[in-house]
Structure 1
Amino acid sequence: MKNIFTIVLLFATLSFYGQDKKISFLDLVGNNIQVPRGCEAQSVYELQACNGTSIKWDYYSTDMLNEVFNATISAFAEGNSSKTEVTFTSFGGQLKGYKFKMGTTFQYFLMGTIKDQPLMINLGTPKDITKSDDLDGFLSLFFDEVG
């Protein structure tokens, strides 16, 4: 009887821990953003390959943010002459950065502060976002304005 109970407990544990924990909401500085239907979040800070668009953000201290952002831009700009300045607004915070054209896609690196939290956002998309009207679909859940 003890062996049966142990086996049942083992299978219950394996089935509970073996299940994928699907992430339903992303967390952008305490703002919950529902993962769009048909898309899958890698973590509460990253959405990959959702209709050709991927977005990820990382939190930093102010000093570390500047260092990481500048190093990222320097490395990405090497051999890429399509660097353009951009400004986005997200949840009341202004994010400044650069857009790079990479073949048929655009890579955006943004840094700023939302709710007193310094962060860097990495956005890859097939869309050339030049104005707020270009923020269709789920991107309008992350960004309010483009300037």
Structure 2
Amino acid sequence: MSQLTIHNYDELAAFEGKELGVSDYHTITQEQIQKFAEATLDFQWIHLDAERAKKESPFGATIAHGYLTVSLLPYLWAQIVEIKNLKMQVNYEIESLRFNQAVLVNSEVRLKAKLASLKNLRGVAKAQIEVTLEIKDQKKPAYNGMITFLYHFNG
């Protein structure tokens, strides 16, 4: 994986409508799922009870919380693009996000990103990013959608 480095609005604008790249794979472990459950107070058995999930779940194993996979966006995004020369970055919007397939415990996921659009809002860059969370060795992604970041560049 080779990370892009962006220093200003014009450099970012050069990628409008283009693929930005793909992150490394990240393995979602049962420990990570457990910690997410504790942080969010979401203790549904399909995420935490391996024996019950093996017997009763249509997936045959525990699965990651959908919002756990969404929460990986900043981590995986930072592997694709490094935005420098910023005063501030704001997570602005998730315009649409569709969960397509459950992520089973110990699955490897990676983020694919495309800069769908970029607008200059009086000096603030509004970047809409088309994202897909791929699951290794699966045809269907975990999710796809459109997220928006606001970048406040220095000078």
Q: Same fold (TM over 0.5)?
A: no
Instruction: Name the structure, 1 or 2, with higher relative contact order (CA <8 Å, separation 6+).
Output: 2
Largest Rg, 1 or 2: 1
Coarse TM-score class (shorter-chain normalised): under 0.3
| TM-score of the two chains, using structure 2 as the length reference | 0.23
